[in-house]
Each structure stands twice: as C-alpha cells, then as structure tokens.
Amino acid sequence: MREPAPSVRLTERRNPRSRNIDTASPLELVDLIAAEDATVPAAVAGARVEIARAMELIEDSFRRGGRLIYIGAGTSGRLGVLDASECPPTFGTPPEMVVAVIAGGFPALVKPAEGAEDDVNAGVSAVDERRVIERDTVVGIAASGVTPYVRAALGRAQALGAHTVFLCCAEPPALLRDTCDVCITVLTGPEVVTGSTRMKAGTATKLVLNTLTTGAMVRLGKTYGNLMVDLQAASSKLVDRGERIVMEVAGGDRAAARAAIDAAGGSVRTAIVMRCLGISTAEAIKVLAQHDHRLRPILGDPPPGESA
C-alpha cells in the first residue's frame, strides 16, 4: 500500500486495517472497531507527563480564583462542553469555574456547524467575551491540530497572559508547540472511517479531559479518598449517594445522615465533619477552612470500603 504524503494530517490518513470495512459483518465490525479503540489508552498514556503538567496549571488557576476554559469546534467542542457540565454535580463547583466554548455557539451542540471552525475572528472574540485573564487556563481542543478557531483563541489567550494548553491527536504546528505552556499530543492514528475523529480521537480526548478535571479537583480536596464528598445532590440518585457517604464515613443511620446534610446546607463534607467530631455547622465550617477544606487532615484515613 502506498504511503500517504507527509503533508496529510495523521487524523486524515486512511487506516489499512479497515480498508474492507464496507464488506464486514456486524460481528466483524464490532471486533474491528473494538480493536482500534483498544489502542487509545496506550496513546493517552504516552502523553502522561504533559497531562500532569496541564493538571498543575489548572490547579494553579483554581487556587488563584481563576477558571478552566475549554475551546473547541465540532466533536472536540462538544466534549469540552460535556466535561464542563459534569463538574458542578460531581465536585460542587460553581458553573463559572469550568467553562466550555464551542465554535458556532449553543446550536452547534446539536447541529453541525462545520464552517464555524474556520472563523479566526470568532475564536478571538470567544476569548474576549469570556473576559479571560492571567489567572485562567485556556485549553484548546483540536483533534487535527490545525483548527483555525482554536488556534486563534489560544493566541488571544496567550496575549492576555493566561495559561494555555493545546490538546490534539496529530503533531501540532510548530508555533503552538513553541508558544503554548503545554501541548498534549495523543497520537491515536488513522480512524476506522477516514477522518472521523469522533471515534478514536474523540475517545482519547474524553479520557484526557476526564483526567484533567478529576485530577485538579482531587488536588483541591474535592474527594475524601475516592469518595465524592462535594457532590451536589440535585437528583434522587445523588441524594442517596450523599447519605450513603455520610453513613460510610461517620456511621449512624440514614435519618441521621439526612439530618446532618440538611443542617449543613446540603454539604456532604460539612455534614461528615459535624457527625464525626460532634460539632455544629459553624464549627465544622471553621475547622474545614483551617485545613484547606480537606477531610484527611481532620479525620485521618477514610474507611477502606469494599474490596474490589
């Protein structure tokens, strides 16, 4: 098979393993796609150092009162929106702490707006409209590495002094590699369907974004061990989870856990301190503030939980 021209982006190259995909049976299709998907975690692991560095920048922004701002187009933009929208219920963060911008705006979440990715002026305006400052971290997401909207947004963020991170699945342009604080390059290779970066590249992007926000939030003390102690109980499932966490850490029955959470204004973390130390809400809030809102320095190691 003839080698692709060097100028062809990695995400646009043809995958020799799927060249006969249109003749495959349903089971063969499942096996083929699964085999390609299985290569993604190793590709993500190859960027572990850069992912960790980006996590440090995001944590730094949060600690200084800044924000994490995702900027992307198409699938990349939608994945940024997905990750940002999950932070408040999972970690109890205000919606403005993790923000996502997609080229084409809200309609592009549900309808293709492919031309929007080429609008460099819109990329600059997106940064200005969010009033990006030096305390923020802006993460540009572009599977191909060349999306003009994202590149322009990152350039504007750099001019404003913000931390900048570029996440892509092909070798980034030299200018971005040289000017961004971190370039996370996850080389997932040619897609099963040529150029369909919603597949392996999209999966890799989701894994990286999961790691960035989860890691930064854990570093901020948003968990106790692996318990989600800052969740927002906005559904019956999350109400149940919050009560079970309080019971697991502090003991007692569900009624006692519910009463403590209510007295703590819905804060599972504060309720745990109240129950474990036998103190009031105000006293628990004060103790948490004295320990950077972390439970481990106050209570020691969390309960071990069930064995895997």
- Number of CB atoms found within 10 A of residue 212's CB: 26
- Among the listed residues 86, 114, 129, 191, the single catalytic one is 86
Beta strands in 62-162 (DSSP E): 68-72, 98-102, 137-141
CA 206 vs. chain centroid, Å, equals 7
Using 50 as the pLDDT threshold, list the residues of the chain that sit under it. Answer: 1-6, 307-308
**Arch. (CATH architecture) of 41-219:** 3-Layer(aba) Sandwich (3.40)
192/157 Cα distance (integer angstroms): 34
Is the torsion defined by CA of 283, 285, 290, 295 positive or negative? positive
Neighbours of 29 (CB within 10 A): 14
Whole-structure pTM value = 0.91
Centroid of chain to Cα 127: 19
User: What pLDDT sits at residue 203?
Assistant: 98
Each domain of the chain, given as residue ranges in start order, spans 41-219, 236-299
**What interhelical angle do 200-219 and 26-37 show, nearest 10?**
40
Q: Are 180 and 167 a contacting pair, CB within 8 Å?
A: no
Q: What is the pLDDT of residues 123-181, one digit of tens each?
A: 999 999 999 999 999 999 999 999 999 999 999 999 999 999 999 999 999 999 999 99
pLDDT value at residue 233? 78
* Structure-token pair, residue 53: 């560095």
- Which of 123, 137, 117, 141 lies closest to 208 in space, CA to CA? 141
> For the domain bounded by 236-299, which CATH number is listed?
1.10.8.1080
Predicted local distance difference test score (pLDDT) of residue 9: 85
Quote the pLDDT of residue 306: 66
For 88, phi and psi rounded to 5 degrees? Answer: -60, -50
Task: Return d(Cα 44, Cα 111) in angstroms, integer.
Answer: 29
Note the maximum CA span of the chain. Answer: 73
Of the listed 117, 129, 134, 306, which one is catalytic?
117
- Give the integer Cα–Cα distance in Å for 244 and 250: 10
Is 117 catalytic? The answer is yes
The residue among 232, 202, 236, 235 whose CA lies nearest residue 217 is 232
- Strands 68-72 and 137-141, by their bridges, are parallel
pLDDT at 217: 96
